[in-house]
Chains A and B, each alone.
Chain A
């Protein structure tokens, strides 16, 4: 399993992304999944970068692996405030532009792009795991 740990800052987003895409390209058969993984990774990382360590410094760890043919799994860990994104209410998508709330779409996209999503708070950290399948 490949692991990368970096500071929870916006500058870490590109290195995390390159790391995960490189793992997927190495596998060769995962090309179709790359756009989904790309999106989910950004949504999860940006959430952690923006909210996990209010007023402080912290780290993010990304692990990824290929659990089977045409499958991919990404785990994102942080040691910030406990936050379960799966408990967030889905945004109301039926409103017109005037009443549409800014934000809240990220996690909703994540739920749509993954085949399975799990969250746990363990050993003082948030652990979010996303499964992808073609």
Chain B
């Protein structure tokens, strides 16, 4: 899994690539929780290069989402690939979180 976080305008962008599975998801969770501790609260997670997500990935996202919410922030997603979009849709995550078509759209509409 490739993971990269940076500040852009008033957002904190997290780019995730590769596979988010039981082996790699804890790394996503840990990094996001650290960014929250550092004061970040408005996250856009860009999944353009993420090919695969399992329930372990969803679990980490939910943990981060709950933390972000209690910190008064927001967690949104953009650029889901077909496999990831399918998993988001079956699990109800697509309606629980804001999902945008592209990072561009997310930056302009959120």
A binds B: yes
Task: Name the contact of A98 in the complex, choosing from B22, B54, B69 (C-beta under 8 A).
Answer: B69
Bound Cα distance from A38 to B52, whole angstroms: 9
Which of B4-12, B33-41, B90-98 lies on the face that meets chain A?
Answer: B90-98
Given contacts A46-B22, A97-B62, A98-B69, contact A112 B55 (CB under 8 A): no
A94 touches B92 (CB 8 A): yes
B55 touches A109 (CB 8 A): yes
Bound Cα distance from A100 to B52, whole angstroms: 22
Bound Cα distance from A102 to B67, whole angstroms: 12
- List A74-105 residues whose CB lies under 8 Å from chain B: 93-94, 96-98, 100, 102-103, 105
Query: Interface residues of B: mostly helix, strand, loop or mixed?
Result: helix
Given contacts A102-B62, A108-B90, contact A13 B55 (CB under 8 A): no
A100 touches B62 (CB 8 A): yes
Query: Interface residues of A: mostly helix, strand, loop or mixed?
Result: helix
Given contacts A10-B23, A13-B22, A105-B59, contact A97 B54 (CB under 8 A): no
Chain A residues with CB below 8 A from B21, complex form: 42
Task: Name the interface size band of chain A.
Answer: 20 to 34
Chain A residues with CB below 8 A from B69, complex form: 97-98
Chain B residues with CB below 8 A from A93, complex form: 91-92
Interface size of B by Cβ–Cβ distance < 8 Å?
21
- A106: Cβ under 8 A from any B Cβ: yes
- List B41-57 residues whose CB lies under 8 Å from chain A: 52, 54-56
Given contacts A97-B62, A102-B59, contact A39 B54 (CB under 8 A): yes
Chain B residues with CB below 8 A from A102, complex form: 59, 62-63, 66
Task: Name the contact of A46 in the complex, choosing from B56, B62, B92 (C-beta under 8 A).
Answer: B56
A-B contact pairs, 18 of them (CB 8 A): A10-B22, A13-B23, A14-B23, A35-B83, A39-B52, A39-B87, A42-B56, A43-B54, A93-B91, A97-B66, A97-B96, A98-B66, A100-B62, A100-B96, A102-B59, A102-B62, A105-B91, A109-B55
